Structure formats: structure tokens, C-alpha cells
Structure 1
Amino acid sequence: MASLAALRASNAQLTSATLPKIAVFVGGTSGIGRATLTQFVNQGYPLKAYIVGRNEEEFRPVLRELHASNKTAELIFLEGQISLMAETKRLTDEILRREEHIDLLYLSAGFLPFLGRQETSEGLGLATAVGYYSRQIFIQRLLPLLRAAFNPDTDQYSPRIVNVLGTGVETTDLYLDDLELKQPGHFSVQSYAHHSATMTSVSLKRLAEQPENSGITFIHHHPGLVSTEIFKKSWGDQWSEDKVAGGPNAPSDITRSSPEEAGARSMYVMTGSQYGGNGIALTEGQKKGLTVNDTTKGSLFCVGDKLETLQLDGLLGKLERNGASAIIWNKTNELIGYYL
């Protein structure tokens, strides 16, 4: 695991050439996303960032702080409810209308469904709508803009998708006939975490391996346990301090950090060259990370909480061989196809 000092040293080498010029942050208004957005803007270089969130008025003081830290930054807030697929389509329509290319799509919105399975007005599970389905719409609809940003003849920043969720807990033990976890006894925080992580890695791997996306780096990143407001937000009006002890089980050696530290790791993941693409050069002793297929490019990078790359070819390969990957992909596009 790279030390925080080493990550910050790497991030300190960032230049205009190794930063995305146009970035989209879905979930940049709080927690890890906000910390990453702040560090991104505070680099001081000319850039444009789209920030997708629910309440522009509430976020306006932060926007003023960000503008004050970097007067060359163009910050565009897009207000909408990404729990609704129709709203997600509207938000992506706006980006597609405004831009011919983007360099980075950073997705970190989500919450833990402690209150049980809730449904949106569109009939999707609320937690899965936010943490998986809306992200798929952002990714699939904005892929043409990311492809347009790729230039094989330059060593400047190359386009990336960084999906911050829960890689490392993927499983072959899935309810393939009930991926929405609607049936009695199927839904829990743990089953949601396993299903959403697996569905994310399966779908990102498929997209990463499509030839037309070969110039885009796809990353699924587990941030570890970060001291954000996610527990309070997830419990809603049922929150109390004693709820902290009732969180999901986590390995004793999992990385625990502040939002600022998690933001520094995210900056490294999205700008370094360790996980594919052009970026900050590796230091002495560092090695290129490997995709889930044990290659240095051409597939998905799953980056764990210690910034190690996870070789999930056995697990994901089994899902492909037994037809589970195809079921996940087909069900995903059946549910969101109207909005693509």
C-alpha cells in the first residue's frame, strides 16, 4: 500500500497536462466526491467541472469557496435527482448538449440502505438506482464524449471513468432471477453490497473490453471506510449516534481514513499512470497495476482500499462461463434501455 505521503507527493507533481480539462462529478457535493472535487479544483489550473447534485442553493457556499481557490475554474452545477432514471437522462442530455468531449467521469453518489428496500416512483430499488443504474446511464450515454477525448498521439491526460463503490466484495452467489432483490428474504445491506459491486464490475468489464472503448481507462475503486456523513444520511430521520455500531461488518485491516485522505487517494487513482492511461509517472519501485484479466490494459482495473489491483479473472470468468454476466448485462439494459 502506498503511504499517504507518497500519494501526496505524486499528486504534487500534477500539471495542466496530467489533469483532466473537462470533468463530470456525480456525487461531488459531499463525502469523498466533494473532497476529490476540492483537491481537483485547488490544483489551480484552468479546468471545467460539472457537479451533479440535488440542491444547488445548499451547495452554493462551497461553489464560492471553490471559485475563490481557482478563479480560472469553470464550475457548472447540474441540479437533479439521480435516483430517477428520467432525471439522469435529462442531466446527461444537458452535458451532451454542451460538450463535444469530456476527459473524466467520476461517480461516487450512493448510500447504505439501512432502512430496507425502498422503491423509486419508477419502480427501481432506491439504493441500486443511485449506486448502479443511474451510473450506468451516465457511463453509457457519455461514452461517446470520452471516446472523443482520446488522442493516441499525445502523452497528455487520457480519458477515464472512476467508479467509487465496493470492489473486492464481488460474488458468484447471486439471486440471478431477482437482481433487484424484491423477493422476501433477499434484501439486506450485505446482499445489496455484494450484488451492486458484482453488477458494477461485470458491466464495467464488458464496456472496457469493447474495442471502441480501448482508449478509455475504466476503474472500479473501493475507498475503504471513510468518516463521511454516509451513516447519518443513510439512516435519515431515524439517525442516532448509537447507529454507528450497527454498520456493516468490515475486515479489521480495511483502510480507514478522513474524506481528505480518501480524496487524495482518488486524485491518485484518476491522475496517476499506475492504473492505465497517461498520467503522473511511476516512482522508483512502483509497478504498473494489472486489470482483472492480469494485463496492463484492455480491461477493467479494480482498485482496492489499499490501492492494490485485484485480479478477479477467476470470479468474473466464472460468471461469464455460467451465463450470469449476460443475465446481469441484459437485465441492466432492459431496465434502463429506454433512457439510453
Structure 2
Amino acid sequence: MVALDVVHASNSRLRELGPGLVALFVGGTSGIGEFTLKAFVQNTISPKVYIVGRSAPAAERIIEECKAINKDGNVEFLQANVTELSEVDRVCKEIEKKESKINLIVQTQGNLTLAGRLESPEGIDRKFTLNFYSRMRFIENLRPLLRTATITAPHFSRTLSVLSAGHGEGKLDFDDLELKNNYSGVRCATHTITMNSIMIEEFAGRDPGTTFAHSYPSGVNTGITRELPVWARAGFALFKPLLLPFLVSVEETGARQLFIATSGIYAPLKPAGLLASGVPAPKGMEIMDGVDGKVGSGAYIVNWNDDIATSKILKEYREKGVGKTVWEHTMGIFERVEKVNKLRAEAYSK
């Protein structure tokens, strides 16, 4: 476990990376994303931050609070419902018009629902899209900007997907990776968590100057139950006092996720400069093992306490070459959705 005072000390050194870091927070209008964003704004010099979310009132509140934290920060809201990849593409195009590089992408989008498969007009499940496809699409679309960040001082480039690294990986149904025919909430969780962990390794191999991380935040006291039925929310409220001792506060979670997003102990495979790994590793700490078990491989699955998580199934799948299968599936979904959206646009224009 990385001590919390070490986490705070590291985060406070983020200013050493210089002014003008550009960051994107998807799902940043509440919960873990909001508090990680605030920790980033508080500890940086003149940052440029984009928030992607659904709630404009929540974003306006956060922007005002960020101004009080750091008057030199520039925080902009991009409203979108990223259960559809067309919205992801639209947001990315807006960012590409304004920025030539991006240093950090933090993704926490998701919901807690008891509903079954909810297919979007794009033909894929909305929850699966939130937890996996939208996250991979943001990374894939913005890879050119992440690459530019690796060759632009301070050469810092990183992505973080907050879901359930090391705690929810399991067997994949290779005959139905998108769960079009055999959907359940449990299967959706297993597939999206496992595929997040597999894909960060795939991206790291293709972009060695960027760090790709997938983290588990543990139980956190957020408002994620808001989309549950009334009876479920009431039940959670009833038992919440009993759960509080086992929950991590949003403030601590925000600090720890920022540590994962910026600390030099999670270095890229091939850092392009002294600060390319982020904030220098705390005294007495070394670069961590990547998901493949090798030091500094550029892809990390990280526990809530900032230690490296482990997963036996990922080792098995690596030996079987499953990464290639998941990569090709994901890119295939993107191609299919692009065709669907092109047809939708053509039909709408008639």
C-alpha cells in the first residue's frame, strides 16, 4: 500500500511538469471523476481541462469550484451522452480543433443499473459501451494527440480507465464478445473489466511513449446508485451506515487516482524524457511491474491503494494470444458502428 501522505506529496509535485498540461476527464461531472479532476486542477499550473458528461448544472458547479481552487486553470464542459460512439467521435473532433496534444485522459463513465441489455441505435449495449467501447474509442481517436504529447515538453502522456482492475477479470465468451445473445449484468461486468485490462497492454505495445492504466477504486461513497429503482436506492440508503467503514472517501479516491494518473512509478515503456514518466518516483519506490509482470512495461492494472493488482486469467490469455482477438474485435465494432452511423446520417439528411 502506498501511504496516503506519500500520495499527497507526489501529487503536490505535479507542478514540476510545468504549465499548460492538457487533460480530458470523461465522466467528470460526479463521483470519482469529479474528485480526481479537482485534485488535478489543484496541483497543476495553468491546466487546460475538458470535462465530458451529461449534466450541465453539475459541470457549471464544478467549473466554479475549480476556479476557486486554481484561478489560472481553464476548465471547459463538453456535454455528451457517451453511451453512443457517435457522441464520442463528436467530442473528440471538438478537442482536436482546439488542441494539438493531450497529456492525460481519465475515464470513469459508467452507471449502476439493474436493467438488462439496452441496445443503442448503433446496435451495441449502452452499459457495455460506457464501460468499454466508449473508453477505447476515446483513446483510439485521441492517440495522435497523446503521441504529440510524448514529443512535446514535458513529454508526459497517459490514460487511466477506472473500473475494476484485478478484481473482476474472468472468462470471456469468444463466440459472443459483445454479449449480443447472452447478456447479463454479471457477464457484462466480466467482459468489460477483462477487456479493459487486455486492451491497455495492446495500446502500450503500439504507443510505447504513453502509459496506459486500468484501476480499481474499491467501494467509494458516490452517487452512482441514482439510476437504480426506488426500492434499490432505499435499500442501499438503509444499509449505507453499515457500509461506510468499508468505503473509501471520494477525497482519498480522487487523490489516489491522480497518483496513478501522474506518478513516475507507472512509467511508459519508452519514456522520451526525464518527466515523461510523470512525477518522479517517491523516495524508496521503484517503477512498478506492468500487467505482463515486467518492470515498466507501460500497461498497469492498479489496486485502490495504488499497489499493482494481479490476475491469473490475464496471464493465461496473454499466453494464448487473446490480446490480438480482443483488439481485432474492438476495431471491428468501431468499423461496424461507423457504417451504421453513416447510414443513419444519410437517412436523416433525406
In 2, distance between residues paired with 1:228 and 1:18? 32
Superposed CA RMSD: 2.6
Residues 91-115 of structure 1 deviation map (CA, whole Å, 9 limit, x = unaligned)? 1111111111111111111123322
More helix by share: 2
Structure 1: where are the runs of 5+ without partners? none
CA contact (8 A) 2:29 2:58 kept: no
Residues 273-318 of structure 1 deviation map (CA, whole Å, 9 limit, x = unaligned)? 1111523333333232110122233341111122111354x53342
> 2:261 corresponds to which letter in structure 1?
M
Residues 50-71 of structure 1 deviation map (CA, whole Å, 9 limit, x = unaligned)? 1111132442122122123222
> 1:2 corresponds to which letter in structure 2?
V
| Mapping 1:60-75, distance limit 5 Å | 60-75=60-75
1:318 is matched with: 316
> 2:59 corresponds to which letter in structure 1?
F
2:99 is matched with: 99
CA contact (8 A) 1:44 1:72 kept: no
CA contact (8 A) 2:18 2:45 kept: no
TM-score, with structure 1 as normaliser: 0.87
Alignment CA distance shift 1:117-1:269 (3 Å) = same
Deviation at 1:143, TM superposition (A): 0.7
Residue 26 (structure 2) pairs with residue 33 (structure 1)? no
Alignment CA distance shift 1:325-1:44 (3 Å) = closer
Alignment CA distance shift 1:327-1:170 (3 Å) = farther
1:294 is matched with: 293
SS at match of 1:59: helix
1:273 is matched with: 264
CA contact (8 A) 2:166 2:310 kept: no
In 1, distance between residues paired with 2:286 and 2:167? 24
1:183 is matched with: 181
CA contact (8 A) 2:266 2:277 kept: no
SS at match of 2:308: coil
1:229 is matched with: 223
In 2, distance between residues paired with 1:198 and 1:86? 24
CA contact (8 A) 1:32 1:262 kept: yes
CA contact (8 A) 1:202 1:328 kept: yes
2:211 is matched with: 217
2:202 is matched with: 206
In 1, distance between residues paired with 2:82 and 2:102? 20
CA contact (8 A) 2:101 2:147 kept: yes
1:327 is matched with: 325
Deviation at 1:128, TM superposition (A): 0.8
In 2, distance between residues paired with 1:187 and 1:81? 22
CA contact (8 A) 2:88 2:137 kept: yes
Alignment CA distance shift 1:323-1:272 (3 Å) = closer
SS at match of 1:290: coil
Deviation at 1:257, TM superposition (A): 0.5
2:115 is matched with: 115
Residue 36 (structure 2) pairs with residue 43 (structure 1)? no
1:240 is matched with: 233
CA contact (8 A) 1:53 1:80 kept: yes
In 2, distance between residues paired with 1:203 and 1:66? 32
SS at match of 2:121: coil
CA contact (8 A) 1:158 1:279 kept: yes
SS at match of 1:196: helix
Alignment CA distance shift 1:80-1:283 (3 Å) = closer
Alignment CA distance shift 1:123-1:245 (3 Å) = farther
In 2, distance between residues paired with 1:172 and 1:239? 26
**How many pairs were matched up?**
327
Structure 2: where are the runs of 5+ without partners? 268-275, 340-350
Alignment CA distance shift 1:289-1:44 (3 Å) = closer
Alignment CA distance shift 1:203-1:44 (3 Å) = closer
Deviation at 1:160, TM superposition (A): 0.4
Residues 31-56 of structure 1 deviation map (CA, whole Å, 9 limit, x = unaligned)? 00000111111236211001111132
Q: Which moved more, 1:143-152 or 1:91-100?
A: 143-152
In 1, distance between residues paired with 2:7 and 2:49? 23
SS at match of 1:198: helix
TM-score, with structure 2 as normaliser: 0.85
In 1, distance between residues paired with 2:255 and 2:66? 17
Alignment CA distance shift 1:11-1:261 (3 Å) = same
Alignment CA distance shift 1:273-1:321 (3 Å) = closer
In 2, distance between residues paired with 1:322 and 1:113? 33
Q: What's the % identity of the aligned pairs?
A: 30
